[in-house]
């Protein structure tokens, strides 16, 4: 018991002292062969969920420098708002099955019909949509993804929408693909991580 308390204190101290990235470990009860350290971004939740940790094994945090220039205060404020959505994006990615992650890594894209998401995936998507709406309320490039999708041609029940992730380069995006009545597919999304 004392070893567990000391180890927990050391992990807590490392998390508090870190500058930029935190490191966490799998629970102490895991066999030694399964203990893997995962670098966590500074915006990671205090107690990351298994889905977040699963995503953190595949995704890397986007560097702030890729989002804005240091001298542009407006971009810096937008980055702070944007960071509030990233944990929910990781959570959503972490709900993918092992097979879906393999498909994503192989094809650099995974599309799932919104109406066919598992309950866990649907909840994680809702949490990301809510996080985005809360963070971007009042300003931002598009404060509500659902409104944006409806304006772009999504049906009210989202039956013509697929959601997932793509990675055309090194940046991983949450992406919505809307199939319009003429058969054209419109993609909307934004970056959440690097790979």
Domain boundaries, the chain: 59-194
151-155 contacts at long range (C-beta below 8 A, 24 or more positions apart) = 152/178, 152/186, 152/188, 153/178, 153/180, 153/181, 153/186, 154/178
**Helical spans, DSSP H, in 73-191:** 73-93, 98-107, 119-136, 145-152
Residue range 91-96: mean pLDDT, rounded: 98
Kindly state the helix (H) or strand (E) to which residue 41 belongs, with its residue range. Answer: strand 38-41
Question: 129 or 76, which is more confident?
Answer: 129
Nearest to 112 by CA among 127, 95, 87: 95
Specify the higher pLDDT residue, 66 or 130.
130
- Name the more confident of 103 and 70: 103
179 DSSP β-pair partners: 185
Q: Label residue 63 by pLDDT band (50, 70, 90).
A: confident
Name which of 90-94, 153-157, 188-192 the model is least confident about: 188-192
Looking at the DSSP assignment, which residues form a beta bridge with residue 185?
179
Tell me: the pLDDT tens digits for 124-174? 999 999 999 998 887 655 678 999 999 999 999 999 999 999 999 999 999
Q: What values do phi and psi take at 117, rounded to 5?
A: -65, 150
């Amino acid at each position: 018991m004392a070893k567990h308390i000391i180890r927990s204190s050391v992990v807590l101290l490392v998390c508090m002292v870190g500058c930029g990235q935190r490191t966490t470990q799998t629970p102490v009860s895991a066999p030694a062969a399964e203990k893997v350290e995962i670098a966590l971004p500074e915006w990671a939740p205090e107690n990351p969920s298994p889905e977040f940790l699963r995503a953190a094994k595949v995704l890397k945090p986007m560097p702030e420098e890729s989002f804005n220039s240091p001298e542009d205060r407006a971009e810096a404020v937008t980055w702070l708002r944007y960071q509030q959505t990233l944990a929910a994006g990781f959570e959503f990615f972490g709900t993918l099955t092992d097979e879906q992650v393999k498909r994503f890594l192989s094809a650099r894209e995974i599309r799932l019909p919104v109406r066919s998401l598992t309950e866990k995936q649907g909840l994680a998507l809702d949490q990301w949509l809510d996080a985005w709406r809360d963070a971007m309320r009042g300003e931002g490039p598009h404060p509500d993804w659902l409104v944006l999708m409806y304006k772009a041609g999504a049906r009210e029940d989202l039956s013509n929408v697929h959601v997932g992730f793509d990675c055309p380069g090194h940046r991983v995006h949450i992406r919505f693909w809307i199939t319009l009545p003429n058969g054209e597919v419109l993609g909307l999304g934004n970056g959440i991580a690097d790979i």
